[in-house]
Amino acid sequence: MEVLLVSLLNGLVYGMLLFMLASGLTLIFSMMGVLNFAHASMYMLGAYFAYSVSRLIGFWPALVVAPILCGVLGALIEMYALRRVHRNGHIAELLFTVGLAFIIEKSVQMAWGLLPVPYRVPPVLDRALFHVYGSNFHAYRGFMLLISVLMFFAIWLLLTRTRIGLVIQAALTHPEMVGALGHNVPRVFTIVFAGGSVLAGLAGVIGGNYLVTEPSMAATMGPIVFVVVVFGGLGSLAGCFIASLIMGLVQTFAVVLDVSFADLLARLGVTVTSSTPLAELLTIPLPRVGALLPYLMLVLVLLIKPRGLMGTRDT
Amino acid sequence: MSEGVVGTTATPLAAGRAGGLVRRQWPWLATLAFALVVPWFFFDWTTGRHSGFVVAMLSQIGIMIIFSLSYNMLMGQAGLLSFGHAVLLGLGGYVTAHVVTASKAGGLPLPLEITPLVGGLGGLFFAILLGYFATKQRATAFAMITLGIGELVTACALMFQTFFGGEGGVSTNRMTGHSLFGLSYSGSIQVYYLIVGWTAISIVLMLLLTRTPLGRMANACRDNFERAQFVGYDPRLVRFFQFALSGFFAGIAGALYTLTYEIVTYDTVSAPMSANALLMTYIGGVGAFAGPVIGAVLIVLLQSWVSLLSNSWLVYAGVLFILMVTFAPGGIAGLVQMHGPIWRAGRLGRLAGPYLRLLPPALLVMLGFVLVIELCSFLTIGAAQGKSLTVGHVTIDPRGTVPWIAAALLLGAGGLWLRAAMRGFAAAWSAVTDEIKAAGARV
């Protein structure tokens, strides 16, 4: 029971972190049709910026400064590079972001070194918030949850209650029509790209010290975020939200539940020995399969529902 | 897309007429002849041995040519962007490793020359299996499914011992004692010639495939799959066949990989290998059949030489890639094709001057850029590894201000000069093309 509750909370924290990354990506992907491979790189840059800034002026200013830096970088990339590549078609755009992810990863290695940097949780939050059945719930996790919930409401208010939010929503499903109505769609694109980068940067700031800040963090997070976006479906923030939570919970529970098919069969009275056919497959414990589950889910959902969970448009 | 994008020319292959064949396909034959003799340029007569580095690099080039050409069967010819093509290469390699080991143990007397075919059949089998699912979708959904399959297979390769050997991979011994020509394959030069042979066979087969109805329908489905449907073809079936055949050739590349290195690990199925295929194919040019060949040669050369000289080879590859995507979406082959009409009009000489004027500023910018990257890299990574930046006999201190100022000057001044030279070049280019158009109108 206590394992269940703690895992539920941890899964929620991880899921919200995923949502922070995926929401920006889903907006960019749905509006511009660009699968932005450099999105996770922005997350990594957010963590590294926060590390450097927090060494100079502390964690709290870094919480604001680092995402803004990412946003500015995102805006510059969109205005001066992506817009030019746009003429060469969607594949060229996608490949551009692949190259960008390459360069950002190597630049980070050159600027901050190959090893993880000691980006730590601020001391104020480095304590237990409360105890559940004898295990601690860390205060920083509570803080992450708070930030991501605040961000969720901020996005929701921005998209439903402001003018630019309505234009963005309209452009999600009917970009040509929005352009025809006289809105400056390229500027909306820049805003969305910069906004997505801000969110990714923010996820990096609060995720970098929770996980590890290292040059490979973009490569490990990137595919998972893709899975979330495609799984949730294009053009649907709600689908993205649900997919993030599902993915966070699945990955957390897969690590905790130490069972395999063999255990399941043992309950049914069948014992698996090394001579049983497919013994290797049957005795693999679930935690080892955990990293594999998101991709399995991705392939399955695309085969059954190519639009994703709640997608409104074809991918 | 217009018909100009369709890469291969529609000339029927002049089989049986050797003269016509030589005249039409001389670049291929010249490349083949060059590939056959090039190891002997690096032959050390005092020790009687080939340069190991060169032979390894050439073998790598051969393998990557097959791999990137098979990738272009999807990307260039069928318009299918795959992020998991390495899966087919790696699985072909694993199959080969097991077959060669069985052959060595005496179970089946299979000549080593035939084993790439086994690898190809392995690739074909897995391509049929995975392609059945993946080709249900097209465009981005297809790309995401292949991404998922790639990650799945990589995870499986690390997880299962019996077939994949876990993290250690599967090692084998190519000296099975079974050979059609009585060769032992103890030295890498013998394997190199085996690779040349299979590369030539694969190139011919893939070139012929582009001229079959399947190759043509793949192009049609790429350009407009709805119209292809109206003509009465099932685009999904076309995608499936194209995927399966592409898997066959990727499997051959994987088999040759196994024979060269005598070990297959999870690296061969993982995402960096798939990205490599994408990089080679796109930089070479997806629009022309020969594009991926150019890309494979260039990337392997860069990879081998630049990675010897510099830590930051991936930055250069990334920048090259971004520049190609931004300014030359047709790749190197596309750039060459752009000069075709000018060459045929006999006016290529007019562009020599403008090209020469581009060269010095371009070199300056490149030098400045390389200096910046190397200075950054030596400030952190190099310092951690205890290396120092030396050019010739001069050691450059990355902490000093002089090299940084020099780099900034090179970049700034070179950049401005390059911009001016670019303008001049653009003017010369449009003047020449206008002239050709005017001449064409007069005729």
Closest to B133 (Cα-Cα) out of A298, A152, A75: A298
- On chain A, the residues whose CB falls within 8 A of the CB of B382 are none
In the predicted model, is pLDDT for residue B174 greater than 60?
yes
B22 has a pLDDT exceeding 80: no
- At A155, the pLDDT band (50, 70, 90 cuts) reads confident
Of chain B, the percentage scoring pLDDT greater than 70 comes to: 91
B304-323 burial code (b ≥16 CB/10 A, e <16): bebeeebbbbbbbbbbbbbe
Contact B94, B266 (CB under 8 A): no
**Measured between CB atoms, which of A81, A112, A302 is closest to B145?**
A302
A286 phi and psi angles, rounded to 5 deg: -55, -40
Cα–Cα distance for residue pair B162/B184, rounded to 1 Å: 28
Closest CA to B268 of B73, B58, B95, B77: B95
Distance, CA of B75 to CA of B243 (rounded, Å): 10
A283 to chain B, any CB pair closer than 8 A? The answer is no
Which two structure tokens, joined as six digits, stand for B62? 């051969």
| Contact of B432 with B342, CB cutoff 8 Å | yes
| Whether residues B359 and B233 fall in one domain | no
Higher pLDDT, B374 or B256: B256
Chain CA centroid to CA B299, Å: 7
Closest CA to B260 of B83, B61, B118, B120: B61
Q: How many domains does chain B have?
A: 2
| Same domain as B381, residue B254 | no
**B346 shares a domain with B263:** no
Give the other-Cβ count within 10 Å of B207's Cβ.
17
Q: Tell which residue, A14, A115, A120, has the closest CA to residue A59.
A: A120
- Among all residues of chain B, which has the CA nearest to that of A290? B155
Residue B95 binned pLDDT confidence (cut-offs 50, 70, 90): very high
**CATH of span A2-255:** 1.10.3470
The ranges assigned to domains in chain A are: 2-255
Instruction: Flag whether residue A8 sits within 8 Å of chain B, measured between CB atoms.
Output: no
Q: From CA B184, how far away is CA B191, in angstroms rounded?
A: 10
Q: What single letter denotes the amino acid at residue A79? A: M
pLDDT digits (tens, 9 = 90+) for B328-340: 888 888 888 888 8
- For residue A115, give the amino acid letter: L
Q: Which letter does DSSP use for residue B312 in this model?
A: T
Chain A touched by B248 (CB under 8 Å): no
Q: Is residue B319 domain-resident?
A: no
Longest dimension (CA), chain B: 73
- Higher local confidence (pLDDT), A10 or A134: A10
pLDDT, tens digit, 9 for 90 and up, residues B131-145:
988 888 777 778 888
Query: What is the reported pLDDT for B388?
Result: 65
Integer distance in angstroms from the first to the last C-alpha of chain B? 27
Q: How far is B180 from chain A (nearest CA, A)?
A: 37
The neighbouring-strand residues paired with A131 are A136
B381 contact residues in A (CB cutoff 8 A): 109-110, 113-114
B144 vs A: CB within 8 A: yes
B contacts of A95 (beta carbons < 8 Å): 278, 282, 321, 325
Contacts of A277 in chain B (CB under 8 A): none
Higher pLDDT, A314 or B432: B432
Residue B123's pLDDT is 93
Q: Do B310 and B344 fall into the same domain? A: no
Chain B residues within an 8 Å CB radius of A235:
none
Query: In chain A, positions 111-140, which contact chain B (CB-CB < 8 Å)?
Result: 111-115
**Residue B360 gets which letter from DSSP?**
H
Rounded CA-CA distance A17/A281 in Å is: 32
- Give the range among A188-202, B27-41, B116-130, B264-278 with minimum mean pLDDT: B27-41
Residue B229 three-state SS: helix
The CATH number assigned to the domain holding B284 equals 1.10.3470
Nearest-CA distance from B329 to chain A in Å?
Answer: 7
| Residue A182, phi-psi category: left (phi > 0), alpha (psi -120 to 50), beta (remainder) | left
Does residue B7 have a pLDDT over 60? Answer: no
Q: Are residues B249 and B292 in the same domain?
A: yes
Half-sphere exposure at residue B179, Cβ-oriented, CA atoms within 13 angstroms? 13
Which regions of chain A does DSSP assign to beta strands (E)? 128-132, 135-138
Look up the domain containing B412 and give its range: 340-442
Q: What is the pTM of this model?
A: 0.84
Indicate the average pLDDT of chain B. 83
Contact criterion met (CB < 8 Å) for B326 and A85:
yes
Q: What average pLDDT does chain A have?
A: 83
Token pair of B204, please? 């011919």
Query: Does a structural domain hold residue B328?
Result: no
CA distance B71 to B185: 29
Total Cβ atoms within 10 A of residue A153: 9
Flag if B140 and A35 touch (Cβ within 8 Å).
yes
Q: Which of A111, A230, A288 has the CB atom closest to B144's CB atom?
A: A230
Cα–Cα nearest to A295, from A218, A246, A227: A227
Find how far residue B413's CA is from the centre of its chain: 35
Q: Which amino acid is at B261?
A: Y
Residue linked to tokens 């991979």: B169
CA distance A186 to B254: 45
Secondary structure class of B122 (helix, strand, coil): helix
Are B204 and B348 contained in the same domain?
no
| CB atoms B148 and A85 under 8 Å | no
Say whether both B309 and B344 belong to one domain: no
- Closest C-alpha to B153, from B247, B259, B59: B247
Segment A30-35 shows an average pLDDT of 77
- Tell me if B76 is assigned to some domain: yes
Per-residue pLDDT of A54-113, as tens digits, reads 888 888 888 899 999 999 999 999 988 888 888 877 778 888 888 898 889 888 888 887
Enumerate residues 6+ apart whose C-beta is below 8 A from B179: B111, B112, B113, B185
Quick: pLDDT tens for A141-154: 888 888 888 888 88
| Residue A313: pLDDT band with limits 50, 70, 90 | low
What's the count of helices (H) and strands (E) in chain A, helices before strands?
A: 15, 2
Do residues B290 and B392 share a domain? no
Residues B176 and B102 in one domain: yes
Spatial contact of A103 and B319, defined as CB atoms under 8 Å apart: yes
Provide the H-helix boundaries in A162-184: 163-173, 175-180
Q: Quick check: ipTM above 0.85?
A: no
Residue A89 identity (one-letter amino acid): G
Q: Within a domain: residue B161?
A: yes
B211 and B345 housed in the same domain: no
Tell me, yes or no, whether B14 and B103 share the same domain. Answer: yes
B120 part of a folded domain: yes
Give residues with Cβ within 8 angstroms of B182, minimum separation 6.
none
Amino acid at position B2, single letter: S
DSSP string, A206-220: HHHTTS---TTHHHH
Residue written as tokens 């249900």?
B136
Please say if the pLDDT value at position A127 is more than 80: no
Predicted confidence at residue B44, as pLDDT, reads 73
| Per-residue confidence band for B5, with pLDDT thresholds at 50, 70 and 90 | very low
Distance CA A125, CA A148 (A): 16
